[in-house]
A and B are shown apart, each in its own frame.
Chain A
C-alpha cells in the first residue's frame, strides 16, 4: 500500500464530504425513523456508483484498493452527516474484504458491490461480536452437498437488505468457529422483522435463524482458519470505527457551537455561560485528540510495523468511542430542550455514538483486554 500524502487524503475527505452534504444530509433524519420509514436504497446505489461502498476492495477485483486511512477519511465525512451510512459502508467494506481474502474467485463473482450491476449486493456480518470470541450458536454438519447449518444469530446489521450474510458456525467436531457466507434467500433461512434499534437506524438490523440450511463447500470461507482470519481482518477496521466516532463528535460539536452562538439566555449568548463553554471546550479538545488517534489507528492498519499495533488498535477504539458517548451526551445538553428534539439532529448523534460503542464487543470486555494486549507485546 503506497503511503498517501496529506494532499491525497484531503482529496478523499473533500470528495466524501461533498457527497455526504449533497446526497446524505438532506434525508438523513427522515430515514433515521426506520423501520417506520424506508431504507435509503437510493443513497446506497449512489454510494456504489461513486465507489464509496467498499473502497477497500482490492484493485484486482475492480475495487479502489484503498487502505484504512482512505476509508477512515471517507467514513469521518459520511458520519458527520449520518453515522448509519458510515457504519453501513464499514460493514460492506469489511464483508467484501473477508470475501476477497478468504473466498474463491468463482465465489467472488456471485456478489458484486461495484457499479456495473447498478444494484450493489449488500452483505451482512456480526459487527457487534467480539472478533476474538464469535458467537457459538450455529452448528455446521458436513453433508454430501457441503454443509447443513442449524442455529441462530442475533442482531445482524444490514441483514434485512442483504443478499448474503457472513456468519460464524462450528463445524461438528471442531474446536473453533468457521466462517460461512450464506445467501439470505436459501431455504431454511428465517430473517426476523427489522429490529427497532437505539442508533444506526438507517442501517436495518435483524435476527437470523437457520434450520437445516444447506450450503455448498464454496460457502466455507478460509477453511478451518475462518475465526482467526475474521479476527485479523476485524483488527484493521478498528481504526475506521474511531473515524466514525470522530465524524459523529465533529457533527455534534458543530451543531452545538452554532446553537450556542444563536441562543440567548440570561441576556447573553449561551456560549458566554462558562458551563456551556466548558462543554464546548471539552468537545473541541476531544476532537483534536481523536483526530490524531483515529488517523494513527488507521495508519497502524495499513502499516504493520508497529509492535504495539494490536494493543493500540484496541485501546484507541475503546477510549475514543467512550469519549464520544460522553461528548454527544453533552452535545444534547448544550442545546437544552431543542437537543432532545429529533429535527435538530443532535439526539441522533447521542444514540449513534452509544450504538457505536458496542461495535466489536461490549465495552467492559474491551477494557479487560487492553492490558492483556499490552502485556503480550513486551
Chain B
C-alpha cells in the first residue's frame, strides 16, 4: 500500500499563514501603540518589578503564608491591572495581541511569578468573565479594577477551576464527563448555593472576588455548568490553605472552601439553562484559546530570562584564564538558547494572529472594537440593551457560530503556543543552569528561581501532555473519521 501524501486538509493556506491575513487589516498606528506598550512594560519590569522579585521569593520560602502585597501595591501604583481591561471598558488595555502578550513576555523575563502567581488570576478571570457575555458583571469588575487603581487599593479577582481530584479533567471538555468532581451548585430562591472546594487557585488569598466554574449536576458537568462570582466575604465561603510550592512562591496557590455558600442571582454569571441551547463548551474553549497564548508569552519570557542570565555569566566569568564568552561551546549554547526564545515568540505571535482572524474581532461582536463604541457605550439605553438576555444570546451565538475550521485553528495554535513556550522556557533554564555551575545554584543570583518558576508553566492551563492531545484532536484527528482522542 502506497503512503498517502498531499492531505488536502492539512497545511492549507488558511491554516498556515494567519499573519498574512493581517497585513491588510492592521492600521499603522497599531505599531506605535504596540511599541509604547512594550516600552512601558519594559520599564515597569526592569525598574520596579526586578528589585522586588528575589526578596518576595525568599520571604515566601521563610513563610509560605506571606502574601505578595508589595507586588500588588506596585501593580496598582503603576496602573498595571487596568492594562488587562480593554479601553472601551475604561481600562488602558490596547489589545491582547500587540499590547498584552509582548508585555507579559517582558514581565516574565524579569519575574514569571508576577504573571503566573500574582496577576494571573485577574487576567484569566477577566477573560473567563468576558466570554460569558455577561456585560453587566464584566463592566462592574472592570469598573472596580479601574476605581481600585485610582484609589490605590487593588481590586483583584481570581479564576477557580481546579478541584483536588480534577485538574486535567477540568481543562478539557472531552474529559470533563469522566471527572471526579466534588463541588456543585444548587439553585435556591434568589440565587444559588455552592458546596465543595477548589485548590491551587492563583492569588486566591489576594482576591476580592472569586470567579469559579461549578456544575449544577455533579454527574453531568458538561451540560449543567455554571459560572459564579463569589465575594471574599460571602457567607459560607472561606479561604483554606496556601500551598508550599517549588517556585512561583510569592504567588499564593490557594484553597477555596464553599459550605452552603450563597451566591445572589446577580453574581451567577452563566448557567447552562440560561438559554435554550448550551454555550458552555464554546465558552470554555474560547477562554482557553485566548489565555493559553498568553501562557506561551510567559514561557517565552522565562526562556529570555534564562538566556540573559547565561549571557551575563559568560561575559563575567572565566575558564582556564579565558572569559567564557570567547569560547565556542558557550557561543553554541547561548545561540541555541536565543534561537529558542525567538521560536517561542513566533509561536505565540502567530497564535495571536490566528486569534485575531478567528475569535476576535471577527466573532466578537464587531461593535466592541471600534472607537465609536466607547462614546456610545455609556449611553444608558445602550447599557440597558446590552444587559438583556437577548443581547447576551446574540453575542454568545457569534462565538458558537464560528466556523468549525476557525475553532480548530484557534485551539491548535493556542495549545501550541503554550506547549512550545513553556517547554522552551524549561529547556533554556536547564541549559543556563548547566552553564552556570555552582554560581547558578545560589538564590541571590536569581537563575535557580527562574528554573523553579519555569516548571509550573508546563503543568497549569492544562498540562503540556493534555495540550498535545488538544492539538492532535483539532488539527490531525479532525481529518480522521472516528478517531478516538481522550479515549
Contact = CB atoms under 8 A, between A and B. Distances in A.
A6 interface: no
B430 interface: yes
Interface stretch (A211-219, A225-233, A294-302, A328-336): A328-336
Nearest to A207: B442
A171 B200 CA distance: 56
Interface string B28-50: 00000000000000000000000
B259 interface: no
B364 to A, nearest CB: 31
B443 A196 contact: yes
Interface string B444-471: 1000100110011011100111001100
B246 interface: yes
Interface stretch (A52-60, A110-118, A350-358): A350-358
Interface stretch (B167-175, B184-192, B287-295): B167-175
Contact of A363 (B169, B179, B434, B464): B434
A326 B440 CA distance: 17
Interface in B36-78: 58, 61-62
Given A36-B61, A267-B178, A275-B465, A340 B437 contact: no
Contacts of A362: 434-438
Contact of B434 (A264, A267, A364): A364
Given A336-B459, A340-B459, A198 B246 contact: no
B330 interface: yes
Contacts of A341: 243-246
Interface in A150-202: 154-155, 195-199
Most chain B CB within a 10 A radius of its CB, from A129, A195, A266: A266
A227 to B, nearest CB: 14
A134 to B, nearest CB: 12
B124 to A, nearest CB: 15
Interface in A349-378: 350-351, 354-355, 357-358, 361-365, 367-368
Interface string B397-434: 00000000000000000000000000000100010011
A84 interface: no
Given A128-B437, A341-B245, A354 B162 contact: no
A264 B61 contact: no
A265 B245 CA distance: 22
A343 interface: yes
Contact-residue size bin, chain B (C-beta under 8 Å from the other chain): 35 or more
Contacts of B169: 265-266
Interface of A: 33, 36, 128-129, 133, 154-155, 195-199, 264-267, 273, 275-276, 322, 325-326, 329, 332-333, 336-337, 339-343, 347, 350-351, 354-355, 357-358, 361-365, 367-368
Given A351-B246, A364-B330, 17 more contacts: A128-B441, A155-B438, A197-B442, A198-B443, A265-B179, A267-B178, A340-B455, A342-B245, A357-B433, A358-B433, A358-B437, A358-B438, A362-B434, A362-B435, A364-B435, A365-B437, A367-B329
28 contacts: A36-B61, A128-B438, A128-B441, A195-B442, A195-B444, A196-B58, A196-B61, A196-B442, A198-B433, A198-B451, A264-B165, A265-B167, A265-B169, A266-B169, A267-B175, A275-B465, A275-B468, A322-B434, A329-B426, A332-B246, A333-B464, A337-B460, A341-B244, A341-B246, A350-B246, A351-B452, A358-B437, A364-B329
